Chains A and B, each alone.
Chain A
Amino acid sequence: MHTKRPSRERDADDRREEGIASKVEGFNERGRRAVADRDLHDAVALATEKFVTGRNAVLGALPDAPELRERAYHVKQETMANLDRYLEQMASAVEARGGNVFFAEDGEAVVRYIGDLARLRGTKVITKSKSMATEEIELNRRLEEEYAGLNLEIVETDLGEWIAQLAGDTPSHIIGPILHMNRHQVADILSGVAGEKLPPNVEQLTRFARGRLREKFLTADIGISGANFGVAETGTIVTVTNEGNGRLVTSVPPVHVVVMGIEKLIPKFSDLSVFVQLLARSATGQKLSVYTNFVTGPRGEGELDGAEEMHLILLDNGRSDLLGTPFEEALYCIRCGACLNVCPVYRQTGGHAYGSTYSGPIGAVITPLLKGDEEAKDLPHASSLCGACSEACPVGIPLHDLLLKLRNRQVDRGLASKAEQIAFKGFEKTMKSPALYNISTKAGRTAQKPLLRNGAVRPLPGPLSGWTGSRDLPPLAEKPFRQLWKEGI
Chain B
Amino acid sequence: MRVALFVPCYVDLINPEVGVSMVRVLRKLGVDLIYPEGETCCGQPAFNSGFFDEARTVARHFMDVFEKENWDYIVCPSGSCATMVSHYYPFIFKEMPETHRSESLGHRVREFSDFLVNVLGVKDLGAHYEGSAVFHCGCHQRRELGVLEEPRELLRSVAGLELLDWENEELCCGFGGTFAVKMPDVSTAMADEKIQALLKSGADTLVSGDSSCLMHLSGRLKREGHGARVLHLAQILDSGDGKVG
Contacts and interface: CB of A to CB of B under 8 A. Distances in A.
Contacts of B174: 344, 384
B13 A480 contact: yes
A462 to B, nearest CB: 10
A473 B57 contact: no
Contacts of B222: 456, 471-472
Interface string B1-33: 000000101011111110110011000000000
A464 interface: yes
B76 to A, nearest CB: 12
A416 B179 contact: no
B91 interface: yes
B40 A411 contact: no
B43 interface: yes
B40 A430 contact: yes
Contacts of B51: 408, 411, 416, 420, 424, 427-428
A28 B187 CA distance: 11
Contact of A431 (B58, B176, B223): B58
A472 B139 contact: no
Contact of A471 (B16, B37, B48, B223): B223
B187 A384 contact: yes
Interface string B39-58: 11101011111111010011
A489 B20 contact: yes
A481 B16 contact: yes
Interface string A463-479: 11011011111111101
A77 interface: no
Contacts of A207: none
Tell me what chain B mostly uses at the interface: helix, strand, loop, or mixed. helix
Interface string A417-430: 00010001101101
A228 interface: no
Interface in B191-225: 191, 193, 215-216, 218-220, 222-223
Contacts of A407: 48-50
- Which of A390, A406, A427, A469 has the most chain B CB atoms closer than 10 A to its own CB? A427
Interface residues of A, number: 65
B117 interface: no
Interface in B145-204: 170-172, 174-191, 193
B108 interface: no
A407 B91 CA distance: 14
Given A388-B143, A464-B181, A348 B13 contact: no
B186 A35 contact: yes
Contacts of A437: 9, 40-41
Contacts of B190: 344-345, 348, 384
B139 A431 contact: no
Contacts of B17: 477
- Which of A431, A472, A489 has the most chain B CB atoms closer than 10 A to its own CB? A431
Given A344-B172, A484-B16, A484-B20, A431 B184 contact: no
A90 B242 CA distance: 72
Given A471-B191, A485-B35, A385 B176 contact: yes
Contact of A434 (B38, B46, B181): B38
B61 interface: yes
Interface in A381-398: 381-388, 390-391
Given A344-B174, A348-B189, A474 B219 contact: yes
Contacts of B49: 407, 411, 416, 420, 424
A432 B40 contact: yes
Given A390-B143, A411-B52, A479-B16, A348 B24 contact: no
A471 B13 contact: no
A253 to B, nearest CB: 43
Given A416-B50, A431-B43, A481 B11 contact: yes
Contact of A404 (B9, B47, B182): B47
A485 B21 CA distance: 12
A121 B216 CA distance: 62
B100 to A, nearest CB: 21
Interface in A360-418: 380-388, 390-391, 401, 404, 406-411, 416
Contact of B54 (A409, A428, A467): A428
Contact of B182 (A28, A32, A456, A485): A28
Contact of A31 (B14, B39, B183, B191): B183
A482 interface: yes
B144 interface: yes
A466 B180 contact: yes
A407 B52 CA distance: 9
Nearest to A469: B184
Contact of A35 (B7, B142, B185): B185
A345 B186 contact: yes
B39 A467 contact: no
A480 B8 CA distance: 11
A35 to B, nearest CB: 4
A275 interface: no
A384 B41 CA distance: 20
A406 B212 CA distance: 24
B48 to A, nearest CB: 6
Nearest to A477: B16
24 contacts: A28-B182, A35-B185, A35-B188, A35-B189, A344-B172, A344-B193, A345-B183, A348-B186, A383-B179, A384-B190, A388-B139, A409-B50, A420-B49, A424-B45, A428-B51, A428-B54, A431-B41, A433-B40, A466-B181, A472-B220, A477-B13, A481-B20, A485-B19, A485-B23
Given A416-B49, A481-B13, 7 more contacts: A384-B172, A427-B58, A434-B38, A456-B222, A472-B219, A484-B19, A484-B20
| A-B residue pairs, 8 tightest by C-beta | A407-B50, A384-B176, A471-B219, A466-B181, A386-B172, A481-B16, A386-B139, A428-B54
Interface of B: 7, 9, 11-17, 19-20, 23-24, 35, 37-41, 43, 45-52, 54, 57-58, 60-61, 91, 139-140, 142-144, 170-172, 174-191, 193, 215-216, 218-220, 222-223
Interface of A: 27-28, 31-32, 35, 41, 344-345, 347-349, 380-388, 390-391, 401, 404, 406-411, 416, 420, 424-425, 427-428, 430-434, 437, 441, 444, 456, 463-464, 466-467, 469-477, 479-482, 484-485, 489
